[in-house]
Amino acid sequence: MIESITDVDYKEVMEYSLDPLIIHTDYKIIYINQAAEKLFQTTKEEVAGSSPLDIFQETSRGAIRNRITAAYEKPADVIEETVYRTDGTQVPVELYCHPVKMGERKAIQSYIRDISDRKVMEDKHQAVVKEINELSATIVPILEDTAVLPLTGKIDQEKAGQILAVIPEKVQKQQLNHLIIDFSGIYTFDHVVIDSLFKINGVLSLLGVKTILAGLRPEMAMEAARMQMDLSEIPAVADVKEALSYLGVHSSR
């Protein structure tokens, strides 16, 4: 049984850490673990003695230098940065560093976590939010109490959730009694879309707004039937013109 934490081989702990770790002092790298070798596509021998500043963009190095200087006294906050691999490719990372003692000397241990996957998801989320914001701005009023919501592209779970969050508020602000949802621009129709239809229809019904579906192609209706989804409670017509006719609005031509 280990009686003291000093009996732990800390270098071995670092070596097998899943997070890339770098030990450096006086702006010279002393050690990197296996995870850091993998992240930066290098070896311990190749980076020994080089500056930890070399992995950062030129514009960031002044701030990183100040951060390292301060970290000799206390841990630095976690920040996001961009670093370079040895082949020149960039990697978005979370960076955290804190002081450690090496005998009588002070050094810095830096944790560098690859957040590429998270950034991809964040970018996707922002794209969806932007698309939904643009979508919500295109609720097109065609009568005093009636508007058309044109949908386009593919609706996934996240987009459906954003629509459900945004559209009822927009409809209520415009004081609509009828909303025609135009699906003629939708190229996929699955359980996510169908579930969203029911939810949007339910929320709008509570607000006193009647939903009418337009542009549901035959294959979409067949897919809904195959999935045993009952759309009969929501009026569905071929296009926006027929939706207006359903509401008793007829073209003068």
Tokens found for residue 160: 């459906």
DSSP state of 58: G
- The H-assigned helical ranges of 8-49 are 10-15, 34-40, 44-47
Q: Is the pLDDT of residue 242 over 80?
A: yes
- Give the length of the chain: 253
Split at pLDDT 50, 70, 90, the class of 189 is low
Vertex 116 angle, CA 76 and 109, to 5°: 30
DSSP percent split of the chain into helix, strand, coil, nearest 5: 45, 25, 30
Close Cβ partners of 244 (under 8 Å, ≥ 6 residues apart): 142, 146, 180, 250, 251
Domains, the chain, with CATH or none = 10-116 (3.30.450.20), 133-247 (3.30.750.24)
Predicted model pTM = 0.54
Split at pLDDT 50, 70, 90, the class of 20 is very high
In whole angstroms, what is the distance from residue 71 CA to residue 57 CA?
A: 20
Close Cβ partners of 110 (under 8 Å, ≥ 6 residues apart): 21, 22, 23, 24, 52, 95, 96, 97
- Report the pLDDT value the prediction gives residue 38, as an integer from 0 to 100: 95
DSSP state of 251: -
